Each structure stands twice: as structure tokens, then as C-alpha cells.
Amino acid sequence: MPFAQLGLHPLILKAVRSVGYSEPTPIQRRAIPVILEGNDLIGAAQTGTGKTAAFILPILSQMIDGPHRLRALVLTPTRELAAQITANGKAYAKYARLNIGAVYGGVPIGPQERMLRHEGVDLLVATPGRLLDLNTRQSVSLDDVEVLVLDEADRMVDMGFAPDLRRILKLLPPPRDRQTLLFSATMPKELNAVAREAMIDPVRIDLAPPSRPAAGITQAIYPVPRNLKVDLLDELLSRIELNCVLVFTRTKRGAERLSRLLQKRGHPTAALHGDRTQGQRERALLDLKRGRVRILVATDIASRGIDVRGISHVINYDVPHTPDDYIHRIGRTGRVDAVGDAFTLMAPEERDELAAIERALGRTLPRVMLPDFDYKMRPAEIGQSMRGEAPERHREPHGRTSVHGRAEPRGRSGASGGHAPASESRPRNGAASGAPSHARSEDRPTATSRAGQSSSQPAGPEHGRGPRRSQPTDRRGRGRW
């Protein structure tokens, strides 16, 4: 079904063609008609499936012929995601006389106040904290909001924004007088409570559940002692066809330190994490998009807002704490039916986190040993590492032991914080080619509703509701264009 058959306004269709979209993605095909009918909606779709266009396009279509005032509000957990949605929205509204703006923390509040008070916006993208600050300063009123979008709602709850969301809901018109759209990978208990307060009989759309990554992503696990992770990452980056690489760490300090280590080893690298200023974060993303740097080291929070075309590799320097974080990390590559590689460096002490991820995926991920890399282990120890077991001289019953058998102090920190630092130099034994490619993951069937493969040594990768009435009005009596 082409975009022209979804019911979008002709000016929005013109913009869709200008940005190069030809066929709608599954989430767009299912969500756009539901939103145009005025229904509340709960949507579950994996990262990189065109979710932003699925809600922005119909909202803009509904707003084109209406009065110019703040009529649509999109709430997001991070500044990067807010900036990304705003950029997309402006591209989709290029032929319509609609103003789209964003407000978020980390930048001066003055310009945002002037934008809201003097210029005015039709659609506002905001992080919860900054929106409440502006409302307290009487710079923004939410009395006329007709459509509310909660994007990455589970992440907002995880970050402690549930109380802020409830405060914002009290500032909005009641649920019967507005349309509410909620997009979330999961529905934790607290988010379900917020949804019950905010929505009326929502239509539920479940597409490619969050326990499955996109089919175009090739995944592999690289077992390695923690103190050799930087060396192995350096070797991987030297061997793969370097295009655009995202490296994820668990902590802000770990991201900053790893970025500096990679720079010292000759890799053009930038860092993206919460301790960076907004200007530094925007510059890092811009440098990556323009090819000034080829590697971006980021934390999990920042990963929700990264939308860069052509990311060829995602590398988990640390195994993510949860399967959801794993899915969102690797979802930065293989976006919208593209292909990409996702590598995870696993230290023996991270095998429990990896086991949880594999249980969620329903299969065992391939283990890969990099040819000609000096693991500083005997063959038997390499076999133990492949099984996720700590080799005898790497085990830590009481204190940490180095690869040479000497005890190391506990207080030293590695690239992820709290671990021994990686070696700064090691011998390279030539540039060997990557391991052969392995099978990609399968698509899961999609569904709309209301309200492993395992082997001893697998190969590795190469280096609803229908219309409520026939007349052209929605359920709240608002006229359609």
C-alpha cells in the first residue's frame, strides 16, 4: 500500500516524496490510518522501523487547516531523540505552514522561552523536565493540546520521569478532549498505570516484538578477558571495513576513557554521554554524520536518540545489563531493512548477562575468536573462554589476578569503571581476515490487536479499530481536512 492510500494530506505526501520515501513501513501502514481516525494508540515496534514518521505524518495532516497554536506535544526521554524528531518533523512539514520546535535541558532556557512566547509553535517536542520548567515560568501553556505523544515511554519511566509525566497530564486537557499516542518497547507496571490515566480504549499495534532484533543485523559474540578488551577492539577496528561504527559502554566515565584510548591508537573517535554539554553532543553526532569521525563511543541513554544513516557496525564494549538494552543498542544498525553487524565483547564475568540476552532472543549467538589475535591464553583456556568460563589464571575468587598471575589492586578502573585497565600495547601478529559470515536472525510475524540456533562452534561474521463513522469527523467531533 503506497503512502497515497493512507489518507495523508496532499502537502504532507509531497514532503514524503521529497525526502525519498516510496513505500510505508509496517508500523506506518498500520498506525497512520488509526491515528487519522482519532483513536488513542499503544504501539510496539522495534527501533529503526520508521516509528517517528508513523505518528508525525498523520499529526501534521490533521493540523494543516487548523488554527496556529500549540496543538500537538511529543514527549521524549533524551535531548538527542527530541532533536531527531524535530528535524524529521520539519522535513515532513516543509510545504505546510506549520511551526515545529523543541525544548530540552542542557542548553540555555532563554531562547526556548522566546520561541514559545513570540514565535509560537504548532507542534512541540520536549523532554519532561524542561517542559515543566517552562510551564513554571509561564512560558508555555498546554491548554490547547489536541494530540499527546509519549515516545520511548518505557525509557522515560526507567529514567524516573513517571512523576513528571503525571504532572504534565494534569496540565493537559482531559483524555476525552485529546488524542494520546504511546510508543514503547515494553509495558512495565508503572507505565501501564500512566496509560490507564492518559488513554481511552486505545488500539494496540504490536509489530516485531522487542525481543527480536531486525532481520538485517548479523550478531556475534567475541569472548575475551576484560583486560584485553581495548586490544581486541583496536584490532577489530583495524581489520573491518570502517564506515560508521557505534561503540557502547555502560557508564559515562567508561565512554570518555575508551574514546581517549581509541584516539591515542589512531582511530578518529568522538564520545556521547550525559556529562557532555549539549553543544559537544550535537557536534559529536554532526561529525559522525559528516564523516569527520568514524567511531562514536556512547552510553545506553544516548543510544535512544542516535539516528545516523549508514551505521555499518555496532560494538558492545560491555555486555548490556538487560535484553531490552541490547536490542536498542544494536538497533542503531540495520535500520529500516538495511543490513549491519553487531559485535559484543564478552568477559567471563559477563556470561550471566549474555545468557539472559540469549534466553530473550531464543537462540545462542555465535562465538568468534579473532584469527592471529594474541589472547595470552593456552588452547584449553581459549576453549573455556568460548564457553563463557573464566580460565584458571583469570578467575577472581577474592582479588583480581592479572594475565601474568600477579595480584592487582582492586581500586583500579577500566574503560567501563571498576575493572582493571586494558593494556596500552600488545604485539600484532599480522592483519588476518575476518571469520566467515553466519546466518542472520529471522523476522517475527507481526500482529495487530486491541486494548536458537545452537552449535558447538558456529561460524562468525565477516570483517485496530476501523472508522467509527462515515462522516469526516473523528471520535471527538473534530473535523478532518
Cell numbers for 286, please give them.
Answer: 554532526
Lookup result for grid cell 583480581: 400
Question: Does pLDDT of 257 surpass 80?
Answer: yes
Across the range 76-104, mean pLDDT stands at 93
The residue among 336 and 230 whose pLDDT is bigger is 230
Was domain 217-408 assigned CATH 3.50.50.60?
A: no
Question: Does pLDDT of 176 surpass 90?
Answer: yes
> What's at 351, amino acid-wise?
R
pLDDT for the residue numbered 417: 43
pLDDT for the residue numbered 376: 79
The two domains 3-207 and 217-408 share their CATH topology (first three levels equal): yes
- Return the minimum-mean-pLDDT range out of 49-53, 205-209, 477-481: 477-481
- Return the minimum-mean-pLDDT range out of 126-140, 204-218, 376-390, 457-471: 457-471
Three-class secondary structure of residue 397 per DSSP: coil
Q: Model confidence over 298-323: pLDDT tens digits?
A: 987 655 656 667 788 999 999 998 88
- Exposure on the CB side of residue 459, measured as CA atoms within 13 A: 11
Q: Tell which residue, 137, 167, 149, has the closest CA to residue 53.
A: 149
Give bridge partners of residue 42 from the DSSP assignment: 182, 204
Q: 3-207: which CATH architecture?
A: 3-Layer(aba) Sandwich (3.40)
Q: Model confidence over 228-245: pLDDT tens digits?
A: 999 999 999 988 777 789
Q: Tell which residue, 89, 63, 200, 93, has the closest CA to residue 478.
A: 63
Residue ranges of domains in the chain = 3-207, 217-408
pTM over 0.85? The answer is: no
> What's at 426, amino acid-wise?
R
pLDDT for the residue numbered 54: 95
Q: Distance between CA 201 and CA 179 in Å, rounded?
A: 11
Specify whether the backbone of 146 is left (phi greater than 0), alpha (psi in -120 to 50) or beta: alpha
